[in-house]
Copies of this chain bind each other. A is one copy, B any other.
């Protein structure tokens, strides 16, 4: 009770013990630099005095490294944290960081302030997920920090990808083995301008370097062409946000068409879209798969634990996260990484 109203520092501890600050620092950081006996004495005294080890702020300034890795999410944190695919990705990142004594800072490129808070620059590395951030945001990141992009490319930086086109080719080929009369595609963020509804020729579409949806669509179109169906004649809808709330009205538009205009095959860009379609179709008394077949993308748990089980492409989002984290920590080579996908055939599109 020597009234330590002030927080105790390494210097205090050194003075108390009659050793230099270097030795105390070594006791915590480089055990081999001092005798075990002395180290014991220092650590013992430290815990007696309530000193929990070198201050992280000072250490990070001195060493230049914070042991913090930031993930920059394309969507808002609110959306991302509630999206199964993004959550799995994050949990993969967290798993590896955790095992390496690193810590996860969550950022969104849709930050309220319009820009990443300055405190973000504390991070040693950045994992950018889902969408090309604005050039100004990218420019603000510390030049020496490492960077890896996921699901899109940043010139000269390592990337983690899934082969979207091949995966969509495979699932569409499977679906088309039973010839549909009226196939249709439900896209996710394909249009240059926001659009929740039918895509018309007037809509400009994003390029393959801006959205993975484009590659997925290419896969669908290749399969359609193989089966003698002109892709240009296949109607497309678009959805801006991968949530039930945003999907539902668009899906309703599709399902409420007259029987002879309603699609009998819905190629969806995500499981969330597909699940919404299943739910709304069931509510309307449509039989799945007799009246309507539906395919998804992602392989989220919710689609596999319900009846009818979803036909989809499983991508291992967790492994994506692990891979990105390994690259950022230098545990894996800083080169483009392409992860496999798996066709999962469920009861709603056998």
Q: Check A105/B61 contact, CB under 8 A, given A56-B122, A244-B301, A306-B279.
A: no
Q: Check A7/B143 contact, CB under 8 A, given A66-B122, A94-B106.
A: yes
Q: Check A117/B91 contact, CB under 8 A, given A58-B61, A112-B98, A307-B283.
A: no
- A84 on interface, CB distance cutoff 8 Å: yes
A55 to B66, CA, bound (A): 12
Which of these binds chain B: A74-82, A200-208, A327-335?
A: A74-82
A57 to B57, CA, bound (A): 6
A118 to B64, CA, bound (A): 15
Q: Are B103 and A67 in contact (CB under 8 A)?
A: no
Q: Check A81/B77 contact, CB under 8 A, given A67-B119, A103-B106, A279-B306.
A: no
Residue in B closest to A248 when the chains form the complex, CB atoms: B305
Copies of this polypeptide in the complex: 2
Interface size on A, as a range, is: 35 or more
Q: Which of chain B's residues have a CB closer than 8 A to the CB of A244?
A: 301, 305
**Which interface residue of A60, A113, A140, A307 has the most chain B CB atoms within 10 A?**
A60
Shortest A241–chain B CB gap in Å is 14
- A21 on interface, CB distance cutoff 8 Å: no
* Cβ contact of A108, chosen from B98, B102, B117, cutoff 8 A: B98
Q: Are B119 and A68 in contact (CB under 8 A)?
A: yes
Residue in B closest to A139 when the chains form the complex, CB atoms: B52
Residue in B closest to A110 when the chains form the complex, CB atoms: B98
Q: Check A7/B144 contact, CB under 8 A, given A77-B98, A91-B77.
A: yes
Contact mask for chain A residues 81-120; partner B; CB cutoff 8 A; 1 contact, 0 none: 1101001101110110011011111111001110001111
A95 to B106, CA, bound (A): 12
Residue in B closest to A83 when the chains form the complex, CB atoms: B87
10 A-B pairs with C-beta separation under 8 A: A56-B118, A57-B64, A57-B122, A60-B119, A66-B122, A68-B119, A77-B95, A81-B81, A101-B117, A103-B117
Chain A residues within 8 Å of B, Cβ to Cβ? 7, 50, 52-61, 64, 66-68, 77-79, 81-82, 84, 87-88, 90-92, 94-95, 98-99, 101-108, 111-113, 117-122, 139-140, 142-144, 244, 276, 279, 282-283, 301-302, 305-307, 318
* Closest 6 pairs between A and B when the two form their complex, measured CB to CB: A77-B94, A78-B91, A67-B119, A81-B91, A56-B122, A81-B87
